[in-house]
Amino acid sequence: MDTFVQSVEYWHDFYIMIGTAAATLMGLLFVSLSINAEKVAPKGNKDLRVLAAQTFTSFICMLLFAVLFLIPKQGPLGLGIPLLGIDAIGLFNTVRRFLELRHEPKQG
């Protein structure tokens, strides 16, 4: 068996735990936002809305990472390319949200 495949399979339980934690935290975030919908509504606190969106995106990225590592007998290229794609999307969203908040005029 390939050394890379053995290394990834050795961490199998860790990836299951990370994926489970990410999915659980996404659910809790969804519930908390549903309870406090008036604070996150379009006319509500934009900083809070952007923070919630960024947190949700981060949890989705963690969940996708875990799912990719749980695919059996995957080679370095088959794992590396999707991970780079997820990283690129995550970086794009982070920069976009940062610029969105930075260019907003201060209220108060």
Query: Three-class SS of residue 47?
Result: helix
pLDDT tens-digit series, residues 73-96 = 888 999 999 999 999 999 999 999
Tens digit of each residue's pLDDT (9 = 90 or more) over 97-106: 999 888 766 6
Predicted confidence at residue 1, as pLDDT, reads 57
pLDDT in tens, 30-88: 898 888 777 777 776 788 888 888 998 999 999 999 999 998 888 899 999 999 999 99
Decide: pTM greater than 0.75: yes
Give the model confidence (pLDDT) of 3-27 as tens digits: 888 888 888 899 999 999 999 999 9
In sequence order, which residues have a C-beta less than 8 Å from that of residue 106 and are 6 or more positions away?
Answer: none
Question: Which alpha helices (DSSP H) does 1-108 contain, by range?
Answer: 3-10, 12-35, 37-40, 46-69, 76-102
Confidence (pLDDT) at 81: 95
- pLDDT value for 33: 83
**Main-chain dihedrals φ then ψ at residue 73, nearest 5 degrees:** 50, 50
Nearest to 55 by CA among 36, 32, 79: 32
